[in-house]
Structure 1
Amino acid sequence: MRVGVPIFLFLAAAGFHTALTASLESAEKEDTFVGLEQLSELQKRDQEEFEAAQMSEAVQDENTEEENDTQEEDMNRDGNVEADQHESESDEDVDGMRQKREHLEANVEEADETTNLAEVE
């Protein structure tokens, strides 16, 4: 019996050591798994925040583009109005010059006729 007690104590200690080691490894794996799970959740939140920021930025860019397009259209409209006004002023100038030319040509023709009549008489 004296030999049986130390063997029994040795086996009990070995079994206790194995159980304790397995328990610690299991807890470590769970901690790692929980840590990975938490990390995964953090990554998901970060990804969602990143996507939300990108969408917000895209909306702002779109609004900015629309504002720029609107301003550009307004400027083009204003430019077209000014060009139309300038064109109508140019047309009026051309019409005025045309009338002056026609008037001068009529005066020249009258002068020529008067000169011809004076020569004939």
Structure 2
Amino acid sequence: MRVGVPIFLFLAAAGFHTALTASLESAEKEDTFVGLEQLSDLQKRDQEEFEAAQMSEAVQDENTEEENDTQEEDMTDRDGNVEADQHESESDEDVDGMRQTREHLEANVEEADETTNLAEVE
């Protein structure tokens, strides 16, 4: 019996050590798994925030482009109006020039008629 007690104590201590080691390893693996799960959750949140930020930037860029397009259209319309006004002004000048030329020609024709009438009378 004296020999059995130390062997029994040795086996009990070895079993206790094995059980304790297995328990610690299990807890460590569980902590690692929970840690990875939490890390995965954090990565998912970060990814979602990143995507949301990209979406908002895209919307802002789209709005900016629309504003730029609108401004460009306004500038084009203004330029078109200025060109139309210039063309209209040039047209008015052309019309005025034609009137003056016509009046001048009419005056010349009248003078020619008077000269012809005077020549016939003489």
- TM-score, normalized by length of structure 2? 0.77
RMSD (CA atoms):
2.8
Residue in structure 1 matched with residue 74 of structure 2 by the alignment: 74
- TM-score, normalized by length of structure 1? 0.78
In structure 2, runs of 5+ residues without a counterpart are none
Q: Give the alignment of 1:1-121 within 5 angstroms.
A: 1-75=1-75, 76-90=77-91, 92-93=93-94, 96-97=97-98, 99-100=100-101, 103-104=104-105, 107=108, 111=112, 114=115
> Is the partner of 1:20 in helix, strand or coil?
helix
CA distance in 2, matches of 1:55, 1:110: 82
CA distance in 2, matches of 1:36, 1:113: 113
> Is the partner of 1:109 in helix, strand or coil?
helix
Single out whichever of 84-93 and 26-35 deviates more from structure 2: 84-93
CA distance in 2, matches of 1:40, 1:100: 89
> Is the partner of 2:2 in helix, strand or coil?
coil
Identity over the aligned pairs, expressed in percent?
98
* Alignment deviations for residues 26-67 of structure 1 (CA, whole Å, 9 cap, x no partner): 000010000000100000000000000000000000000110
